[in-house]
């Protein structure tokens, strides 16, 4: 009778039932129900007879899980595109934190409903501790994911600038009808013991916006007598770049620094964009194709990126010596290289030359791109983001990132990546045949658009023993022999890099 009187005063079902009525009002049973509710919202509510609340919680939980699974399995490219947009990253961060709070609240409320009758100091302490631990366990993954989203947002905002570089980006046609997008990849040698930036690694990546097929066009750092872009730069150097005095003989890798020190050759350009603007225009004039964007990676920062991703696994055909006294050595074999070893694998010229080094750089970039899998990136995300902020600069607008992400996924999913290096004996660095360079560039791009497969042999870019010709020459086209021209075919990186 006493029990009926209690229920008659409006007490919620299950709250004041005697312990033997449910078998679950002891501490173990209450914690079991709370755990079940943490795994599937609404279990404790349904057990307590609160059917409406329980069904609503279960429906909401099921909807969240279903939407997540469908999005990840069917709309992964779209999700990846959203993950590089600042406004969406802000929403994702807020949504994840809100979900974590709601989940913790469900756990706490579930324990309040199912808590034991025997509320001694011991049961209260153990129960509160267990619930707190469970709240942390269910919320921690969401908080961590929100942290990653916020770090991504901060990193992207520091590297990529909003505004579209003065061009409005159409989301339906982000490439504005372009068949190809050309991105200049630069490796700079700035460091604490160096003045200025010399771009010792220079490669134009010409990417088909429909297929992702790519041609890598590399010019050597010691190319001479190249024309400057129309305007103040060409007015100053009407017969080709000659540098800035006896210490700078007029090599291609000096153009970036020259623009930084002489703002009058790129008038009206902000300080940080002077070097990129002039080297982009110079590259466009040499190759005969437009250069849309650039990405500059500082060499030391590149080593930090390699360390942040846990090293890069490479096959080194033979020992590579480095250092002024030859004191360093990257040993031959297939193994994981540290950031320092990877840096010298791509930079050392000891017992070799610029052109062999250029080939190694392509193989290194290929290995990094292939090994930057989602699991590795996620587990080392903070370190990678910090290293990227220090190492990378670019003029790619933030609004174009989703399009680049889709393009990069095509490149990873079987697109052809070929390489053509304009090095001796194909091109003499001291007396280049620029008509030939432009002609070979056009042919390589045309072949890529037709889906032609590169021939791996015997191309200068895969040669490990190429040596430069003397710079002096009496013929304006003495830069290449007929045999060299016959070998001027783009080379597949899969074939030219040892594995």
> 220-249, pLDDT tens digit by residue?
989 999 999 999 999 999 999 998 776 667
Please give the residue range of the domain that contains residue 77: 19-159
- What does the H/E/C string look like for 337-395? ECHHHHHHHHHCCCCCCHHHHHHHHHHHHHHHHHHCCHHHHHHCHHHHHHHHHHHEEEC
The token duo for 381 is 């995300």
> What is the tens place of the pLDDT at every residue in 153-209?
998 888 888 765 656 777 778 888 889 999 999 988 765 455 557 888 899 999 999
Q: Does 134 map to a domain?
A: yes
State the pairing for strand pair 293-298/312-316.
Answer: unpaired
Q: Does 103 map to a domain?
A: yes
> What is the tens place of the pLDDT at every residue in 35-71?
999 999 999 999 999 999 999 999 999 999 999 999 8
User: Above 70 in pLDDT, residue 477?
Assistant: no
pTM score, two decimals? 0.76
387 phi, psi to nearest 5 deg: -65, -40
Assess contact for 311 and 342: CB atoms under 8 A.
Answer: yes
Q: Identify the burial level of 288 via C-beta atoms within 10 angstroms of its C-beta, where 0-12 means exposed, 13-18 middle and 19 or more buried.
A: middle
Q: Does 173 map to a domain?
A: no
Q: How confident is the model at residue 471 (pLDDT cuts 50, 70, 90)?
A: very low
Q: Does 383 map to a domain?
A: no
- What pLDDT, on a 0 to 100 scale, did the predictor assign at position 8? 38
Q: How many domains does the chain have?
A: 1
41 phi, psi to nearest 5 deg: -55, 140
Q: Does 105 map to a domain?
A: yes
Radius of gyration of the chain (CA): 31
User: Above 50 in pLDDT, residue 468?
Assistant: no
Q: Does 79 map to a domain?
A: yes
Q: Does 85 map to a domain?
A: yes
* Angle, vertex CA 93, rays to CA 91 and CA 96, nearest 5: 105
> What is the tens place of the pLDDT at every residue in 430-450?
999 999 999 999 999 999 888
User: Above 80 in pLDDT, residue 305?
Assistant: yes
| Distance separating alpha carbons of residues 315 and 331, to the nearest angstrom | 10
Q: How confident is the model at residue 385 (pLDDT cuts 50, 70, 90)?
A: confident
252 or 470, higher pLDDT: 252
Q: Does 139 map to a domain?
A: yes
- Average model confidence (pLDDT) for the chain? 81
Q: Identify the burial level of 456 via C-beta atoms within 10 angstroms of its C-beta, where 0-12 means exposed, 13-18 middle and 19 or more buried.
A: middle
| Distance separating alpha carbons of residues 143 and 148, to the nearest angstrom | 9
Query: Coil, strand or helix: which one is 181?
Result: strand
Q: How confident is the model at residue 265 (pLDDT cuts 50, 70, 90)?
A: very high
- What pLDDT, on a 0 to 100 scale, did the predictor assign at position 247? 66
What number of residues does the chain have?
A: 499
User: Above 70 in pLDDT, residue 367?
Assistant: yes
- What pLDDT, on a 0 to 100 scale, did the predictor assign at position 190? 61
- What pLDDT, on a 0 to 100 scale, did the predictor assign at position 352? 76
């Amino acid at each position: 009778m006493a029990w009926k009187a209690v229920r008659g005063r409006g007490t919620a079902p299950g709250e004041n039932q005697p312990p033997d009525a449910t078998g679950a009002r002891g501490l173990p049973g209450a914690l079991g129900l709370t755990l079940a509710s943490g795994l599937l919202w609404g279990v404790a509510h349904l057990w307590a007879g609160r059917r409406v609340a329980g069904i609503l919680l279960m429906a909401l939980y099921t909807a969240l899980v279903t939407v997540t699974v469908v999005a990840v399995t069917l709309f992964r490219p779209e999700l990846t595109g959203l993950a590089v947009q600042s406004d969406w990253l802000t929403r994702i961060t807020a949504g994840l934190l809100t979900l974590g709070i709601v989940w913790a609240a469900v756990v706490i409320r579930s324990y309040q409903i199912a808590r034991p009758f025997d509320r001694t100091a011991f049961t209260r302490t153990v129960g509160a501790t267990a619930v707190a631990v469970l709240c942390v366990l269910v919320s921690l993954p969401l908080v961590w994911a929100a942290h990653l989203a916020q770090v991504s947002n901060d990193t992207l905002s520091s590297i990529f600038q909003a505004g579209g570089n003065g061009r409005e980006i159409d989301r339906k046609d982000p490439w504005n009808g372009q068949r190809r997008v050309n991105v200049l990849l630069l490796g700079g040698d700035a460091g604490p013991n160096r003045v200025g930036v010399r771009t010792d690694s220079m490669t134009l990546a010409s990417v088909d916006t429909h297929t992702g097929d790519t041609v890598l066009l590399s010019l050597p750092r010691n190319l001479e007598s190249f024309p400057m872009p129309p305007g103040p730069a060409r007015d100053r150097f009407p017969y080709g770049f000659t540098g800035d005095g006896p210490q700078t003989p007029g090599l291609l890798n000096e153009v970036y620094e020259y623009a930084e020190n002489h703002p009058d050759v790129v008038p009206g350009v902000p300080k940080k964009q002077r070097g990129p603007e002039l080297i982009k225009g110079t590259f466009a004039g040499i190759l005969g194709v437009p250069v849309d964007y650039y990405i500059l990676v500082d060499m030391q920062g590149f080593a930090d990126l390699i360390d942040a991703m846990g090293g890069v696994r490479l096959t080194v055909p033979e020992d590579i010596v480095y250092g002024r006294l030859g004191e360093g050595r990257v040993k031959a074999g297939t193994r994981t290289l540290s950031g320092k070893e990877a840096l010298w694998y791509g930079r050392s010229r000891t017992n070799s030359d610029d052109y062999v080094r250029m080939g190694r750089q392509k193989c290194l970039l290929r290995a990094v791109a292939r090994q930057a899998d989602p699991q590795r990136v996620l587990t080392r995300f903070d370190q990678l983001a910090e290293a990227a902020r220090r190492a990378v600069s670019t003029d790619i607008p933030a609004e174009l990132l989703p399009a680049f992400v889709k393009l990069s996924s095509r490149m990873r999913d079987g697109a052809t990546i070929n390489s053509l290096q304009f090095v001796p004996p194909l091109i003499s660095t001291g007396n280049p045949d620029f008509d030939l360079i432009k002609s070979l560039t056009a042919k390589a791009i045309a072949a890529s658009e037709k889906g032609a497969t590169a021939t791996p042999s015997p191309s200068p870019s895969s040669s490990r023993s190429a040596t430069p010709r003397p710079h002096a020459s009496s013929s304006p086209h003495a830069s290449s022999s007929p045999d060299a021209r016959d070998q001027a075919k783009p080379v597949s990186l899969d074939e030219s890099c040892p594995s």
